[in-house]
Amino acid sequence: MSARAIARGALIGALYALLTLLTIPLGGGVQLRFSEALCVLPYFCPEAVPGLFVGCAVANLVTGAVVLDVIFGSLATLAAAYLTYELKRRGASKWLAPLPAVLVNAVVVGLLLRYAYGVELPLWMCMAGVFAGQALSCYGIGMPLWYALDRFGCKLFE
């Protein structure tokens, strides 16, 4: 990986962490992380995969997440980002780009809310809440971002 690609990945990670920190008060009752809109970036540049992972880990550490969330929440972001990259590599529709982040986080973060944070709701409700928040972030904000980046891709970060 080139120095330029590493710098782009670092920029993406910093942007993810910053967006998370700036929008914490806006989340409300639904697990909503506006920075998850960046989940479409691996569709354009592979260095977004480690960038999003590191950004999520930093955001989780800084916001005081429990250790299990720092580990498994960050790994969920890594898995979703890699799957998004693979979708592009295999020629999948752009409309599938946000789907890994929606599905992976619904399961992993739903489990974390229920068992690591002790949210007293049925597991399916925890997962459904995360699913709704992820769908709003990833499709509602992420797809307009996808369209904005479609013309420039990774060049926007150069």
Could you list the residue range(s) of the whole structural domain that residue 34 is in? 3-157
**Cα–Cα distance measured from residue 7 to residue 41, given in angstroms and rounded to the nearest whole number:** 15
pTM exceeds 0.75 for this model: yes
Instruction: Dump pLDDT digits (tens) for 117-130.
Output: 999 999 999 999 99
Strand (E) or helix (H) holding 70: none
| Whether residue 28 has pLDDT greater than 80 | no
Token reading at 130: 């995360």
Q: What is the pLDDT of residue 150?
A: 85
**What total number of domains does the chain contain?**
1
**Cα–Cα distance measured from residue 82 to residue 85, given in angstroms and rounded to the nearest whole number:** 5
**Cα–Cα distance measured from residue 47 to residue 126, given in angstroms and rounded to the nearest whole number:** 31
